[in-house]
Structure formats: C-alpha cells, structure tokens
Amino acid sequence: MPITTLHIVNGDAFGDKLRASGIHGEILVWRESLYEGPIGMQMSDSALISMRATYMNDRYGIPEDTFKSQTIQQEAKLDTLTDEVDEVVLWFEHDLYDQLMLCYLLSRIDDSPGRSFELSLICIDRFPSVDPFYGLGQLTVDQILQLHGTWLPVSDDQQSLASKVWTAYSASEPLPMEALLEEDLSALPFLKKALETHTARFPSMQNGLTAIQQLTLELLVDDEVSVLSLFQNISEQAVRYGLGDLQFYGILNGLWHCEHPLIQVLGGDRLPKYNEAWPPHFENYRVKMTDMGKLILTCKQDHIFLNGIDEWIGGVHLLGMKDVWRRNAVTTGFTKL
C-alpha cells in the first residue's frame, strides 16, 4: 500500500500554497484558535466546545454552529489518525499563536492509543531573503518547495514538554506556567519566548493593562492613528504574538466599549467581524486616546478597577474588578490584586 501522509498546518493561505506545491499527502488546516477563549485539558469536551462557540460568537460574530461543527470535525480527525495515516507532519512557526497550537497537537497526539504513525515537525522563525519573517504564509510556492522533506521526527522530549505546556496553559491559575518557565524548554527552541509573551497577556499590577493594550495606547500618545496603520504597527512591534486583524479589533473593542473608554474610534460605530466586508471608508477610521486612557497609561488610574474584566487567558478566567490575577511587570511574577 502507498504511504499516506497528513500535513497539519495553521492558516488557509499557507495550506493553499502547500497544496499548490504538489506535496504528497492530505492537508488539514487547523482553524481552532487556542490563543483565546475558555481552555481546558480536554478540548474535545462537548461542554467546552459549546462555551468556546459562545465566546467566539460574542467576540467575533462566528456562527456557533459553524464553530462547533468545524471543531468537532478537526478533533474527530485526530481520533482516527492511527487508522488512516502512516505519517503526520506538523508545519508551524515561532510565534505564540503557533506554539500553543503546536503544543496542543503534540500533547493530543501523544495521548493517541496504539499510535503507529510517524510524527514529524517543521518549525521555523526565518527563511532566506524573507525579512521580516512573520510566518509560512509569506512564502511563495517555490520557496515552500525548498522545505519539502526537511521536517524531522518529533522526539520524546518534545512530546513530553508539549504535554507539560498544555497542562500549565490550561490550568485555572498562572502559577504552573510561572514554574514551567524556570525549567529547561530548549527541546522546543521557540517555546520560551512564546510563553514569556503569553505571560504578558495578563494585566499588569501597575495599571491593569496587558502588554498589547499598553503598546496600543503608547502608539496613540501623540496623534490620532488610522485603525489599519495601528494594526500594522502592532503587528511589526509585537510579532511574537501572531495576532490576526480580528483579534486586534477585539482588543480595540475592549478598550472602546467599556464603562470608562480608553479610546475612541472615529469614522464609524463598529469594527469588522468574522466574514464581514470592511464597512464603507474603513481605511479612514481613526483611533484616538481618551483622557481616561492617558490617566491609565501613566498609571494614575487602573483599567480593571474602573472597568472590570471578563477574559480567558488559557485556562485562567479573569473576572471582576478585584482579586484578579495580574503580572508584575518588574519581577514577571503573578499575584492577585
């Protein structure tokens, strides 16, 4: 029988190019964003899938039935790998978005009973003549052809580490992740920086802002900035996050549609959601920091004390105005405040 191969990738753009490169095997685009929303050890759990579907619908307008069916199909594919393939190749990048997805898949596949297929990985943070390198989706079909066959077998150390990461990431408090960051993470060479980026997603003790929220306000100090150029600036300065435009619009909405807004968006009353065309004149939408935003940026007020929070960061649910897990921007530790 011919050898059957499954390539698991992040991103339809790259999936289409990989397919066009003529690579042998089936291609599965993993579309579940594990970067946000409720997270648990068993992501295939039906109750958790329903919670995530509600979150994605509320935040981005993704239809719940679409989200559920897509997630269930992907998880079911993982359950049948042993019966269907001889080799699985994972194609991923260095940023937080991809590293979380990679750790989940390695952990999930490691739990497969009676696994008989080979498991391989290609994970890069650069490519010759592509500068700056953001991800595999930048590559041309000819460049992708140069990567064919360069993947390496996944080691036991890599799978063990990925399982540790997923356990810490899905925990209900950040202390296991804090402890994990003190361990040797070199089996997955891009992991340490990615997890340090993950910890910066927690609100700071100083003003209740995450690192991305802080950077967003800093870029608005001197002037109004168009939404599109603001996203471009954030993408360039926070490349380790792997943020998409919808995720960034979600961040802006959190700063805008709260009791004491930190920003105003001028030119329209809402930002695009899932599968929506840009509203008329969206390229002219501008973002401006409010006076309250200036007070919070300079640590004279606190975003969470004023506006509260209802966010999931991995398995940690940050909720309310007090007794919320925060990071200390100086010591990088965590405490409740």
Q: Are 207 and 302 in contact (CB under 8 A)?
A: yes
Domain that holds residue 40: 5-169
Confidence (pLDDT) at 329: 74
Do 50 and 141 lie in one domain? The reply is yes
The answer to whether residue 185 is domain-embedded is no
The answer to whether residue 92 is domain-embedded is yes
The answer to whether residue 90 is domain-embedded is yes
Confidence (pLDDT) at 303: 98
CATH number of the domain that residue 139 is part of: 3.40.50
Cα dihedral value 145, 236, 232, 123, nearest 10: 30
Do 232 and 127 lie in one domain? The reply is no
pLDDT category at 276 given cuts 50, 70, 90 is very high
Do 164 and 279 lie in one domain? The reply is no
- Count of structural domains within the chain: 2
Do 153 and 233 lie in one domain? The reply is no
The answer on pLDDT for 1 being more than 60 is no
Total residues belonging to the chain: 337
What lies within 8 Å, CB to CB, of 59 at 6+ separation is 36, 37, 250
Q: Are 276 and 61 in contact (CB under 8 A)?
A: yes
How many angstroms separate the Cα of 10 from the Cα of each of 89, 184, 318? 12, 26, 27
Do 30 and 112 lie in one domain? The reply is yes
pLDDT category at 316 given cuts 50, 70, 90 is very high
Do 161 and 260 lie in one domain? The reply is no
Q: How far apart are CA 132 and CA 237, in angstroms?
A: 11
Do 142 and 235 lie in one domain? The reply is no
- Burial (CB count within 10 angstroms: exposed 0-12, middle 13-18, buried 19+), residue 280: exposed
Confidence (pLDDT) at 330: 75
Tell me the average pLDDT across 5-33.
94
> What would the pLDDT profile of 119-168 be if each residue is shown by its tens digit?
999 999 999 999 999 999 999 999 999 999 999 999 999 999 999 999 99
Confidence (pLDDT) at 2: 54
Least confident of 30-34, 92-96, 289-293, 300-304: 30-34
Residue where a domain terminates, one of 169, 191, 214: 169
Instruction: Name the pTM for this structure.
Output: 0.94
Do 10 and 157 lie in one domain? The reply is yes
Confidence (pLDDT) at 5: 95
> What would the pLDDT profile of 191-229 be if each residue is shown by its tens digit?
999 999 999 999 999 999 999 999 999 999 989 999 999
